[in-house]
Amino acid sequence: MNYMKNGLLKLNIQLFAEDGGDGGTGGSNGGEPAKTVSKEEYDKVASQLAAAKKALKTKETDDEKFAREQKEKDDKIAELELSQNKYTLEKGLMKANISAKEAEELAASILSGDVPSIADAIGKFYTNSTSNLQKEIDALRLSQIDKPDGGTEGKTITAEDFSKMTIDEKIRLKNSDPDLFDQLNKK
């Protein structure tokens, strides 16, 4: 059926007639007369329904409050566990002679679970440690070099002494005193 015409709703007035508009058959409930309810009964049922809805809404609110509080507790526990794991990891790394700053960076990267972050932190640690070790090795080698001037510390290196140095000694001199190296190398 087409109830709309030109944007207007067709209204069948017979549906609102007192006998139901069906010739007294009582409506669409199989020929039985329509049941009526008193206003008092209707109001009573409506108020019971409203009370039940309100109780349900209050119960949902209590459940939501409990869920929120439980989530806050779970988040706090997870935060404490993460903090404890980070502390344990940092202490273990520092026992392996890793600096506190590097241990903190490595621990944070590992606990984040972000693989690129872990790789970057390990790469930085490796680069820093190899660089530091190389500096220590260079310093030890430089201290073991026989000085051309007899090994006394206060003397200056002459051009003749410089020409007698091996390539390793010249490199160490360049690392320890770049200005002197440049001066002697130009002669």
Contact partners, residue 164, CB within 8 Å, separation at least 6 = 148
Taking residue 173's Cβ as centre, other Cβ atoms within 10 Å add up to 20
pLDDT in tens, 132-149: 888 888 888 777 776 655
Residue of 112, 137, 108, 113 whose CA lies nearest to 125: 108
pLDDT in tens, 76-98: 999 999 999 999 989 988 888 88
pLDDT at 50: 92
**10 against 122, higher pLDDT:** 122
